């Protein structure tokens, strides 16, 4: 089976200091790979490198069977990879939700009418069709994250890269996010501190520390579980 993404001996340095050291990883169709590690371990850098936003110092990066080194190599492949940023405000830039979700399909060459139809369909599938006329700037954190995801899914990507997708998302929108990701049929790489979320979504895991990637195992074990809840007074 040909991997969708393949990294071999990939090293990325910033100002001479390596932030990713000889990373190796392969992602196959339907893989849901979780990358777990402390802050500053190189998780976001890894995702940015995969889509060609970080210059590679050494190693080999192959996307969909094609070796990628220059911007020209990455450009035609980017619509096949959806990258959900850690901060939704870095991703939303159009005045309204519908316009923002249309942006990707328009870049892929769809006509405005086709792009709008695609955007509506995607928003409905995520259960946020009612947001289409809203101003992106005034959405809640959870709504913003879902709209960003809709903007990516509208391009029908084969791979999703998710950078801390549950950060700053409330419970109701978090549930929508989980449902949408569980229904996504492509492969994904998931960077998250949310262990419950990782256990629920991921099928494989890798650890990252000090810029080094290593294989890990997900295992589930029962816990005596106590946590506080807030309920209205009867």
Partner 1 sequence: MSDLRLRLIGALAVLIALSQLHRVEVALAALVLLLVGVTALRPGRDLWHRLLHVEGFVLILVLLLPLTVPGRPVAHVAGLAITAEGLVRAGLIACKVTSAALVLLAAFGRVEPIRLGAALHALGVPEALVRIFVLALRYLGLIRDEAGRLVDAMRLRGFRPGLNRHSWTSYGNLIGMLLLRALARAGRIEEAMRLRGFSGRFPHAALAPAVLSDKMALAALIAAALILTLVDRL
Footprint on this chain of partner 1 (rule: CB under 8 A):
51, 53, 75, 78-79, 81, 83, 85, 87, 89-95, 99, 103-104, 106-108, 137, 151-152, 155
In whole angstroms, the minimum distance from the beta carbon of 106 to partner 1 comes to 6
Q: Of the candidates 33, 75, 31, which has an alpha carbon nearest to the alpha carbon of residue 53?
A: 75
Half-sphere exposure of residue 131, counting CA atoms within 13 Å on the CB side?
Answer: 31
**What distance in Å separates the CA atoms of residue 184 and residue 188, rounded to the nearest whole number?**
9
Contact 197, 178 (CB under 8 A): yes
Nearer to partner 1, 105 or 142 (CB): 105
Q: Which residue has the tokens 């990782």?
A: 198
Cα 189 from chain centroid (whole Å): 7
In whole angstroms, the minimum distance from the beta carbon of 1 to partner 1 comes to 26
Nearer to partner 1, 51 or 206 (CB): 51
In whole angstroms, the minimum distance from the beta carbon of 87 to partner 1 comes to 8
Nearer to partner 1, 104 or 174 (CB): 104
In whole angstroms, the minimum distance from the beta carbon of 20 to partner 1 comes to 18
In whole angstroms, the minimum distance from the beta carbon of 175 to partner 1 comes to 25
Nearer to partner 1, 93 or 218 (CB): 93
In whole angstroms, the minimum distance from the beta carbon of 197 to partner 1 comes to 23
Nearer to partner 1, 104 or 211 (CB): 104
Contact 181, 104 (CB under 8 A): no
Q: Of the candidates 127, 154, 152, 6, which has an alpha carbon nearest to the alpha carbon of residue 66?
A: 6
CA angle 182, 184, 186 (to 5 degrees): 125
Nearer to partner 1, 36 or 131 (CB): 131
| CA dist 18 → 45, 60, 181 (Å) | 11, 16, 32
Contact 11, 46 (CB under 8 A): no
Q: Of the candidates 200, 90, 208, 78, which has an alpha carbon nearest to the alpha carbon of residue 148?
A: 90
């Amino acid at each position: 089976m040909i991997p969708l993404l393949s990294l071999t001996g990939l090293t990325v340095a910033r100002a001479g200091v390596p932030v990713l050291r000889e990373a190796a990883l392969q992602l196959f169709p339907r893989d849901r790979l979780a990358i777990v590690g402390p802050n500053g371990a190189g998780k976001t850098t890894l995702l940015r490198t995969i889509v060609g936003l970080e210059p590679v110092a050494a190693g080999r990066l192959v996307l969909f069977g094609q070796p990628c080194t220059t911007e020209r190599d990455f450009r035609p492949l980017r619509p096949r990879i959806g990258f959900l940023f850690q901060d939704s405000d870095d991703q939303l830039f159009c005045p309204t939700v519908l316009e923002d979700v249309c942006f990707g399909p328009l870049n892929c060459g769809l006509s405005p009418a086709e792009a709008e139809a695609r955007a509506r369909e995607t928003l409905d599938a995520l259960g946020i069709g009612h947001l289409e006329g809203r101003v992106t700037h005034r959405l809640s954190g959870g709504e913003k994250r879902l709209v960003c995801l809709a903007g990516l899914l509208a391009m029908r990507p084969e791979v999703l890269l998710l950078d801390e997708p549950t950060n700053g998302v409330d419970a109701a929108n978090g549930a929508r996010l989980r449902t949408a990701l569980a229904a996504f049929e492509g492969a994904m790489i998931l960077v998250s501190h949310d262990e419950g979320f990782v256990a629920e979504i991921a099928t494989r895991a890798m650890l990252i520390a000090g810029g080094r990637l290593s294989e890990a195992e997900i295992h589930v074990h029962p816990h005596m579980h106590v946590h506080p809840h807030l309920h209205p007074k009867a």
